[in-house]
């Protein structure tokens, strides 16, 4: 026998049904909105449609060269290009190094294709990339590294800079010296054949 319209139990169950359905719909909408917000947050944290690579992150967050050379910390300057495969391969190790040594060492990236850095490209006679210029805490040049470096090699170079010790003997790494501008060595550039 169906409940009569005057039965209080029947009216409670039918009156509660739309409220329960509305509550379920509201909960689903809230959950969908939270899920959408979490998806957007994850998308944004991963760099959107074009995730930023370590090389671009390092370049974007690197301090100004003049500041780095005068703040009392050793400095590692990398001359790089976005198209350079060796630079891109070395970037994750450089990024880890920068994160581990933040506050102790400045890591500065200068893009050789950016006209803003042309004076520095000429000043440091950049003839191949990646090229690292190494400076002591006083901003004085102590060495140069040409070519890609592995994570252990970067650690060794960094450790020597931080301890103010001679650079490790690695292929393509050498100390810098000041030669008078009139010397034959200073007149013959890295591209000369004379």
Beta bridge partners of 106: 75
Paired tokens of 53? 């690579």
User: Position of tokens 């060794």?
Assistant: 156
In whole angstroms, what is the distance from residue 158 CA to residue 132 CA?
Answer: 11
> By C-alpha distance, which of 51, 127, 100, 81 is closest to 144?
127
Residue of 55, 69, 87, 142 marked catalytic: 87
Beta bridge partners of 74: none
Residue of 55, 65, 68, 84 marked catalytic: 84
Identify whether 18 is a catalytic site residue: no
Q: DSSP E strands: which ranges in the chain?
A: 75-80, 106-111, 131-135, 141-146, 173-174
Identify whether 97 is a catalytic site residue: no
Residues with active-site annotation: 84, 87
């Amino acid at each position: 026998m169906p409940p009569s319209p005057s039965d209080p139990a029947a009216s409670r169950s039918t009156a509660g049904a739309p409220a329960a359905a509305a509550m379920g719909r509201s909960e689903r909408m809230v959950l969908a909105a939270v899920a959408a917000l979490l998806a957007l947050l994850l998308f944004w944290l991963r760099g959107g449609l074009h995730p930023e690579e370590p090389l671009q992150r390092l370049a974007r967050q690197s301090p100004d060269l003049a500041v780095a050379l005068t703040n009392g910390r050793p400095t590692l300057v990398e001359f790089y290009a976005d198209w350079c495969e060796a630079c891109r391969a070395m970037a994750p190790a450089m990024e880890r190094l920068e994160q581990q040594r933040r506050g102790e060492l400045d890591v500065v990236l200068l893009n050789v294709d950016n006209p803003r850095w042309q004076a520095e490209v000429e000043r440091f006679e950049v003839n191949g990339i990646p090229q690292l210029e190494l400076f002591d805490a006083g901003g004085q040049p102590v060495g140069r590294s040409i070519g890609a470096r592995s994570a252990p090699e970067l650690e060794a170079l960094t450790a020597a800079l931080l301890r103010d010790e001679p650079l490790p003997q690695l292929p393509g790494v050498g100390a810098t010296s000041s030669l008078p501008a009139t010397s034959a060595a200073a007149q013959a550039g890295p591209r000369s054949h004379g």
